[in-house]
Structure 1
């Protein structure tokens, strides 16, 4: 049986949709019955907050996983279940979602990683023994060039780059692609699934000129084969994140089309028992 893939949502600037794509992909897969392990590798702890996981005193977080040996901190002890969510009179079941959380103390892990000389592989080495307990792992790194970002990159065998549909997004994409290029020879197992234009703005049935220009530029930079559908700028995503659900739970499954296509790209890497759960058409 193949080892389940580890997907990393990469972006070297804030506001690119990195955490949103990681969160929505995990929720989409979990809804299909695929067990998902999230790894919050960002000291801002956005993913931990979005998933509603409360870090408990005396419970290890990713900081201890990265800085302490397995015999001192067992990685399984750091995995928390994602709580179910009440949405009106419904309960959104999160049985398939799990998280290795972070808090602001994770920032100090950069010093330990910097001194190790092998920071690129530390997170991968810690995850490999336990990732087979899940269908996929999804890592959310910080939006910066740091040792935490590097160990996140090295943990992944599948990468996705969200980039805002504007000038800042194009610049972030260029920097992120440079990071991948810099380390690619050390990571021959890594594969870029694609680029997701984020916060695309439309007026009526047409994209704004700024959105169209940015998406055309992204396509020229990465090629049509790596282009994924865009994610619209919509308050539905903000509401979904605030309520700890997905757009589908709010009656807007069409807003998850880009996530469905991303899941299709990921499907060949999944163990067969989970790959067959991904539908050929959006649900």
Structure 2
């Protein structure tokens, strides 16, 4: 039996929705009953913060996982449970969510990865012994070309590229596609699930000219079949992240449509046990 898929949310510029898409996909799958292992490979530690996980003293983080052998730091000891969240009089369960956290010390892992000569595969090799305990792993890399970004890319067999619906987003998409092209020969198992236009702006029933032009350009760059539905610019996402919940928990499931379609793209890679939990229509 093959291992569960590892999804990497890629973007080579800040503000592209990389962490948001990783977070929302994991929350969506976890809500359906699929065990999710998040891996926070960004020294900014956004995912660790968004999930409400506190890094404990003397507890290993991703830094130790990447820079120390399994005999010294067991990867299972670095996995934290994501705490449940109180939302008004409700409790939002995060029973199916787990995280290998990071802190700003992770930046120093770049030096160790650079000296190894095998940075592309280190995270993948470290995840192999434990990833089968989950339905899917989701990696959030740094928004830059670095050895942490390379080892994140190599860890994934499914890649998704969020890109802001503006000129900066198009440029980020171009650089991210160049990164994939550079290493694709060494990663024959890798597959691009699609591109998610992020922070799309609409006026009434129509996108703004800037949003439409950017999305049309993205479509020309990657082909129509790789374009996923856009994510609207909305304060609901900010509120959901701040409250450590999903838009659905705030009564706005329609804002997760792009995440639902992404989950559908991922479905064939899931085990039969978990694939059947992905609904045909958004929930």
Partner Cα distance (1:74, 1:3) in 2: 19
**Corresponding residue SS for 1:111:** helix
Alpha-carbon displacement from aligned partner over 1:38-92 (angstroms, at most 9, x marks no partner): 0000000000000000000000000000000000000000000000000000000
Alpha-carbon displacement from aligned partner over 1:96-149 (angstroms, at most 9, x marks no partner): 000000000000000000000000000000001100000000000000000000
How far residue 234 of structure 1 moved from its aligned partner, in angstroms, is 0.1
**Corresponding residue SS for 1:215:** helix
**Corresponding residue SS for 1:231:** coil
Alpha-carbon displacement from aligned partner over 1:5-33 (angstroms, at most 9, x marks no partner): 00000000000000000000000000000
Partner Cα distance (2:26, 2:206) in 1: 30
How far residue 35 of structure 1 moved from its aligned partner, in angstroms, is 0.1
How far residue 252 of structure 1 moved from its aligned partner, in angstroms, is 0.1
How far residue 272 of structure 1 moved from its aligned partner, in angstroms, is 0.7
**Corresponding residue SS for 1:232:** coil
Is 1:261 equivalent to 2:261 in the alignment?
yes
**Corresponding residue SS for 1:189:** coil
Partner Cα distance (1:277, 1:19) in 2: 24
2:20 aligns with 20
Partner Cα distance (2:156, 2:129) in 1: 14
How far residue 2 of structure 1 moved from its aligned partner, in angstroms, is 2.5
Root mean square deviation of aligned Cα: 0.3
How far residue 158 of structure 1 moved from its aligned partner, in angstroms, is 0.1
**Corresponding residue SS for 1:37:** strand
Q: TM-score, normalised by structure 2?
A: 1.00
Partner Cα distance (2:218, 2:178) in 1: 14
**Corresponding residue SS for 1:217:** helix
2:144 aligns with 144
Alpha-carbon displacement from aligned partner over 1:154-178 (angstroms, at most 9, x marks no partner): 0000000000000000000000000
**Corresponding residue SS for 1:230:** coil
Q: TM-score, normalised by structure 1?
A: 1.00
Partner Cα distance (2:275, 2:52) in 1: 27
Runs of 4+ in 1 over 6 A off after TM superposition: none
Partner Cα distance (1:2, 1:273) in 2: 13
Partner Cα distance (2:94, 2:197) in 1: 27
Alpha-carbon displacement from aligned partner over 1:236-274 (angstroms, at most 9, x marks no partner): 000000000000000000000000000000000001100
**Corresponding residue SS for 2:57:** coil
Where do 5+ consecutive residues of structure 1 fail to align?
none
Partner Cα distance (1:171, 1:5) in 2: 28
Partner Cα distance (2:52, 2:197) in 1: 27
Partner Cα distance (1:272, 1:71) in 2: 33
Counting matched residue pairs gives 283
